[in-house]
Chain A
């Protein structure tokens, strides 16, 4: 019996160890020839299937950029759809290499769940949508309101906090998906729908008469959404982090998918040169070649292009850049320098 216990403990320990530190995600990805990327099962503008059955949107574009940096081919991504409940285990167990799934960066997820958030690709915040007929102009007037709320998300906790701080009551109407929320809200089963402001704007854009619904001015939480990887492989985290930074830096310096070829031949700006590989060899430091960022920008676009294409003001979702603008343009997007 003693022997058995020892063996079992050793086996469990070795499993835990090897799970925690599966060395060389990049090598694994290169060996299998594709990137396994976890995405959501569908959020308007952020992840959806097009008529041809391919995944598109703001989140899959992050996966595509990483695949472009590694392979020079955006089609070398395999998507795993994850739900709010399975996303972290799917990543932690090694079933996917990275997660780009509008997930809020929080303390406990970063530390306790043993995940690494590598950056923020969308600064969101939780807001409220109400029918204008209700005559409410502030979230603090919502005493006694019934609120449609997605279960298992940070929004649920924020809501409870907000109402407790302001000493008002609410009645939660728990729902599972955004689509279900829309249906319930439209049918009047709840007075208020609360989720990330981006989601509210996307939802409102699909209504027959968007003017009949108002977004309240209160943003009650910080919801920095970004891609994440497992603890234990800092090289891989670096690669994903700097691919995202490359897209942001590219926008800052005016490098787009259209002019990137011409810029790559050399410019007066040494940072652009370093980014696109005509000067120095930054790619080698993350295990790739010189042209890694060039490929990501060429094939997917810079941050602004990705934003405008999927969720920007010209799309039906019509999100303004707001805080998601570059730091040089009044937002808080700020990439460390490529040096």
Chain B
């Protein structure tokens, strides 16, 4: 190869100049592109330097993972006392569920995962048949958790911890979606009474805070029901949570429905489709696709709102944490408890959010404006 001149078509690929590729380019573009950004980067780096080492020390290097009491923890290390979480993990997960029956909760969790798979992932082989299992799962799960029919019955007052969160969250999510869709359709219905009923219901529920509904569920209902009828508290809460979130879902779905151009309805009518068929085949698939971010947003909100049940004395993870922290052996470790619970909620909510992004990408088929 000669320097300076090249035979046409044979000149070698030269490397880009230093700073125009790889790490250096990325650094330049993202961190040091202007004097202001340079200052921001340096300040941020300094703050991270101040925060990360003590945080890592507290969470990992100086922390204690096995201990019998808080004082024991103090002797072993200066960081977080994860030994507390370790000792109480059973309570945090299962609440007061009987020890020898906890396998049922585990089995329910596993089956829940299996039932979720065909619903969430449409490339699964034999999806059609597996969906039947998903449909049957609520009943199987309820049977496993509550007992009866051959299993030792377990009262719902023994439910607690993450299990309670999952039961309330999942039931609320699963039941509120269909109810919400029906409400949204009802609100747009041409039949006046149905429209008024649905609108009234939605506006009433949306006008009342969830806390109020929970208080009604826990205290007021008892006054209205004849004495002696014990109407399970968890069931009352589940109904209230479901009604609450279905009103919100209804509004989200209505947003989606209104975004569908009138032409779509008319096209469906022209095809001779009846109301339900046109909704099922033409309108709803499009409307729901648009509504996905809103729906998932509502679900995430609902899932986090389950922690409100502590106000009416149900022991969700926060409640279990409070009861456990009152044990004089462990008291004063609230930071560990809150960090641990925050982690659980983050994992759940973040995966919901990621799934919704996956779904949006998958269904992104474009839309024509004519």
Contact = CB atoms under 8 A, between A and B. Distances in A.
A45 B328 contact: yes
A81 B313 contact: yes
B363 interface: no
Task: Enumerate the 3 nearest inter-chain pairs by beta-carbon distance, A residue then B residue, closest first.
Answer: A93-B222, A48-B326, A42-B326
A44 B326 CA distance: 4
A179 B325 contact: yes
B128 interface: no
A57 B328 CA distance: 10
A51 B88 contact: yes
Contacts of B312: 83, 86
Interface residues of B, number: 40
Contacts of B70: 206
Interface residues of A, number: 43
B311 interface: yes
Given A49-B320, A82-B313, A93 B332 contact: no
Contacts of B224: 15
Nearest to B90: A53
A81 B319 contact: yes
Interface of B: 70, 87-88, 90-91, 95-96, 99, 155, 157, 215, 218-219, 222-224, 226-228, 230, 233, 310-315, 319-320, 322-329, 331-332, 334
A179 to B, nearest CB: 5
B216 to A, nearest CB: 11
A137 interface: no
Nearest to B87: A51
A179 B322 contact: yes
Interface of A: 15, 18-19, 22, 41-51, 53, 55-57, 78, 80-83, 85-86, 89-90, 93-95, 177-179, 182-183, 202, 205-207, 315-317
A83 B227 contact: no
Given A49-B91, A83-B311, A93 B326 contact: no
A42 B219 contact: no
Contacts of A85: 215, 311
Contact of B315 (A18, A81, A317): A81
Given A41-B319, A53-B96, A95 B222 contact: yes
A41 B328 contact: no
Contacts of B87: 51
13 contacts: A18-B226, A41-B310, A48-B324, A49-B327, A51-B87, A56-B327, A80-B313, A83-B310, A83-B313, A86-B313, A94-B228, A178-B326, A316-B328
A216 B262 CA distance: 74
A90 B319 contact: no
A78 B157 contact: yes
Contacts of B324: 42, 48-49
B223 A15 contact: yes
A46 B313 CA distance: 17
Contact of B227 (A18, A45, A47, A49): A18
Contacts of B222: 89, 93-95
B219 A89 contact: yes
A42 B311 contact: no
Given A44-B326, A89-B218, 20 more contacts: A15-B226, A41-B313, A42-B322, A42-B323, A42-B326, A43-B326, A47-B323, A47-B326, A49-B320, A50-B327, A51-B329, A53-B90, A78-B155, A86-B215, A86-B219, A93-B219, A94-B222, A94-B227, A177-B322, A179-B322
